[in-house]
Amino acid sequence: MAQSDSSPHDETTPNTHEIDPNLVPNTEELKIALDFHRFISGATLDNGDLGVEELEALQNPLWEVPEIDNDNLLLSLKLFMSTTNASNQVYNDVRADIMEVHPEDDLLSHHAIKKKVAEMTGITPILHDMCPNSCLAYTGPFAKLEVCPTCEEPRYDPVKLQSSGGRVKKSRQQFYTMPLGPQLQALYRTPEGARSMEHRKRRTQEIMEELKANGGRVKVFDDVYHGSAYLLAVDRGDIGDDDIVLMFSMDGAQLYQDKTSDCWIYIWVIYNLAPDRRYKKKYVIPGGVIPGPNNPKNTDSFLCPGFHHLVGLQKAGLPIWHGGNKHVFKSFPYLYLGSADGPGSVHFTGLVGHQGAYLCRLYCGLKGRHKQGASTYYPALLKPDNYTVAGCDHDDIDPGSIAGCSPEAYYKNLKVLLASRGPTDYKTHRKDTGISTISIFMACPPNRRQPIPAGFGGDCMHAGTINLGDLFPPLWHGTFTCTKLDTIESWEWAVLKVEMWKTRLVGTTFII
């Protein structure tokens, strides 16, 4: 794996690395990845998924908060907002109960109030067909397919039309994408909301003044705004005062305990907001939902509509009505970070993941080790005693020597992968570089995102140290499950096994 002796990335120069426009990969995996990259890179607002009315509303944002002078509509909206965490049936049941006691009330049905909310906010979800087994979505290069190339399940379930006796194609399963633009516009619509969204602008100005006054030093690092990557992007003009800085995050969830129900959700976190707001549910913007029953096999196809829309906004700018100053301005969204746990991050980083030889989600260049006959790699810095596994028996690694990977080294490795001569060559290069495909982040204009791999952030919700509390006690007690080649009796650190180490609770004091 080619590495750089410099800092993790050169932050003094703009991000200019590009993929050869004439490149034709020799493997199917890379051909598909490059097709999606080129499709999303070529995005504009005009060739996206917004309809004529939605696009018109996006380019001409509302100038005020809609007034509600109808009591039935107001009550319907309040009921809808109060039941957002419940099923549609809850709304319908409460609506029916109210109208039974007050027959003069004419509350909107759940379907009608959803349409009204979309009309008032300008936020309309985008639907696309997908494989019923969650293999892929019929977007971008897959848009015209009618059979899943992975599992061969048909896209449509034909249904007879009663009127003509003919047949119409009915999608077997669909997924939702919530376009980013209208949601960002809504955050500025009130004076209070607009002021909240200007927190980044105010705080950045304060930090710049502090740096100037103190010779390039700050006393306290308390937010992402203090990062050199952010400040240099501001200094270059990549991030302007009116621009919106984003973090992308995604994760999977099992909806039911006793049956297959994998579901993936991705969100946008708005760094323009203050830290005490940006991570709250009210301000986290939903991006899309990928329903199960299985994990997606081609995640790019599901992320494609959301990123296509993002790239269109990054190129054209997003017109926004400022509820405080009462004027329209343009904002160019900047994709600052992508965050997820180890398994989730591979869906947008294009890296091999936590089981690969180069397993770091930050692409630091650390090579892992695996047990004899096993395939899973671990970030073991120290070489085990009597360890002779080929390709993993490198010397001990000093943590201080892990400097990270520069964008130049990353792109050099990516070019090696893309030049693979066939499937076997591709697997070899994938192992040697730690890259499995083109990151979807690369489709964003270079000046509207961080250079890769700098934009692949860690995730404090999945920090390795959090798991240590579960790992150390069974090691100390000698109850940890080990392999047949190991024996607990040889563990010198398993010292909490004898009677003297038992504890009992007396009041609020532990006596050992």
Q: Are 301 and 36 in contact (CB under 8 A)?
A: yes
pLDDT band for position 63 (50/70/90)?
confident
Higher pLDDT, 136 or 164: 136
pLDDT digit string, tens, across residues 432-446: 999 999 999 999 999
Burial class for 476, CB neighbours closer than 10 Å (0-12, 13-18, 19+) = middle
Whether the pLDDT of residue 510 is over 80: the answer is: no
pLDDT for 327-350, tens place per residue? 999 999 999 999 888 778 889 999
Q: What is the mean pLDDT of residues 42-49?
A: 95
Listing DSSP states for 201-213 in one string gives HHHHHHHHHHHHH
Spell out the domain ranges in the chain.
Answer: 63-121, 466-511
User: CA 300, CA 289: separation in Å to the nearest integer?
Assistant: 13
471 CA to centre of own chain: 28
Statement: residue 470 has pLDDT above 60: yes
Question: Which of 138, 440, 124, 134 lies closest to 290 in space, CA to CA?
Answer: 134
Q: What is the pLDDT of residue 410?
A: 92
Q: Examine the pLDDT at 403 and tell me if it is beyond 90.
A: no
Nearest to 134 by CA among 179, 177, 180, 172: 172
Are the beta carbons of 153 and 133 closer than 8 angstroms?
Answer: yes
Angle (CA) 201 204 210, round 5°: 145
**What is the reported pLDDT for 4?**
39
Q: Is residue 27 pLDDT above 90, yes or no?
A: yes
Tokens of 85: 């965490």
| 156-174 pLDDT tens trace | 987 654 455 566 789 999 9
Residue 462: its pLDDT value, please? Answer: 61
DSSP SS3 for 335? strand
H/E run at residue 474:
helix 464-477
